[in-house]
Chain A
């Protein structure tokens, strides 16, 4: 694992830096909505990073953030239109969640990856963005699954009968989102990889 790739895992943007906490909270009421949000963010991150990597020579340091915002916003709108038109079941599966997908356009998580992209080559950018996106996806799905289990005694819509009498409705409310995210982040801090040689050398 390279230094930067190791950093993606070690600093786990969603759980350790708490980047993208907005979608992580707003879009993680259930495991399935978390998968949708995670996949959407992964796609926007990947496309934005790749585009910024391709524009590396043109985008000056001063306008890096502005350019990232424009590119990320553009891809968010394009993806939302495409998914709305050709994947309607996916698009409408979670009710009002569609509104929150727009928030991904202003996610610091995307900008962070876009910033790295302007410092790296194309291949490295793809690898890093994929890894960061997948880490985010896994994190948000875990948060979503925990909230769904605690709040509705289901996971991915499947009923967990043994939990039926122990549900905590608060888990699916915003406050519950904060608590579950904090708990998952705490666990991630305990078990995160710390034996990466490259990281030890100075990551």
Chain B
């Protein structure tokens, strides 16, 4: 009994001594640790808002229209600006991409610091770095800096836009006004899908002349977009490879422009047009004669519409150029009723070398896959026939191409 009591007393004594020591040290160390924690947090915030000293976290529940990507907003106490904490993901993210973005009192990005990024293929530092100094218009975003990491960079850019949206919606930072040219440029991909790749404008800027303020040539080769002076205002003029045009105002509504402007856009296009190779049609249909067809109203991924005659019958050849995992050109021949008579493609998905390099296509029987399209009409588009196992991006592109060619057929043939 005495031994048990002694042992208990010894253990109790040890507990008491260490408890007292911990209590004493905690009393001294705790405030210092709190200060260190605060300095550490402030330090991270001050990195993206140089000159910032103390920050106050705003209660997001009291703010309105806060996008889901905005996880916190810190206000610099001397009104030097704000630091926004953001978290976003792209469709191929291994985990959330989180970052801090400082916005100075003038509404310009003062700094960006990535705090968590787990992708195996990371976007280069140049991409976030080149956003510093830009305002809410994000007028000078250069997606070429994100080559190979387009999905992540797009999610990143959208999160940056969300941060500005949250700040301006709550009157914290004034929204910068976009120029008409920028508004029109941003409208272009939604009006002419072939100008975009993965949702971003994918174009080459050409040297301008006359009334053309901005000339963009689709990298896919489906057409052109021009911002043109129309008196006191600016308009967006789209021209496809068939030299058909459409014009839009800053409000996004289709408008009519003087014939002289149309001709100027057409002439500019002729001078910069790259001819689409139609030789594939001959291999798809023996004895086919191919002539350029009407492309009025076709502003999608369709690069060309052709009239084909073979074996005494008339067909319509349509070529779609777009991006799946890589650039693709897909050829379709439709019969007079709008049913696919033949489909083929070159580049990427049907090249033997790609089958070897990309295991995902190893199980794809090319002949069977192509034959799966024959007889398909706009009303019988079958996802299972288009799907390529383990090749989501290419499958999605094939689906887009197929839908676009049916839409083009309907447009040029009047819904036959």
Contact = CB atoms under 8 A, between A and B. Distances in A.
A85 B28 CA distance: 9
B36 A88 contact: yes
Given A66-B11, A67-B10, A85 B18 contact: no
Interface residues of A, number: 24
A92 B43 CA distance: 13
Interface in B114-130: 120
A129 to B, nearest CB: 18
A55 B11 CA distance: 11
Interface in B34-77: 36, 39-40
Contact of A63 (B10, B25, B32): B10
B309 to A, nearest CB: 56
Contacts of A63: 7, 10-11
B22 A77 contact: yes
A62 B7 contact: yes
Contacts of A70: 11, 14-15, 18
Interface string B97-120: 000000000000000000000001
Interface string A58-70: 1110110011001
A104 interface: no
A67 B3 contact: no
Contact of A81 (B10, B26, B40): B26
Contacts of B141: none
A5 to B, nearest CB: 28
A169 B94 CA distance: 14
Interface residues of B, number: 22
Contacts of B206: none
A73 B17 CA distance: 12
A140 interface: no
A174 interface: no
A88 B40 contact: yes
Given A60-B3, A70-B18, A74-B22, A81 B11 contact: no
B6 interface: yes
Contacts of A66: 11
A91 B26 CA distance: 16
Nearest to B14: A70
A121 interface: no
A85 B21 contact: no
B33 interface: yes
A85 B32 contact: yes
B22 A81 contact: yes
B382 interface: no
A133 B367 CA distance: 68
Contacts of B7: 60, 62-63
Nearest to A75: B18
A74 B18 CA distance: 6
A201 to B, nearest CB: 36
A85 B3 CA distance: 41
A84 interface: yes
Nearest to A169: B120
Contact of A82 (B3, B10, B18, B25): B25
Contact of B18 (A60, A71, A86, A169): A71
A60 B6 contact: yes
Given A62-B7, A92-B40, A82 B14 contact: no
B32 A86 contact: yes
Contact of A71 (B14, B22, B25, B30): B14
Contact of A85 (B6, B10, B15, B33): B33
A85 B26 CA distance: 9
B29 interface: yes
A81 B29 contact: yes
Contacts of A55: 10, 14
A84 B3 contact: no
A63 B32 CA distance: 36
Contacts of A78: 18, 21-22, 25
Top 7 A-B pairs, shortest CB-CB distance: A74-B18, A85-B29, A85-B32, A88-B36, A81-B29, A63-B7, A84-B33
8 contacts: A60-B10, A74-B22, A78-B21, A84-B29, A84-B36, A85-B29, A85-B33, A88-B36
Given A55-B14, A60-B6, A169-B120, 7 more contacts: A63-B11, A74-B22, A78-B25, A88-B36, A88-B40, A92-B36, A92-B40
Interface of B: 3, 6-7, 10-11, 14-15, 17-18, 21-22, 25-26, 28-30, 32-33, 36, 39-40, 120
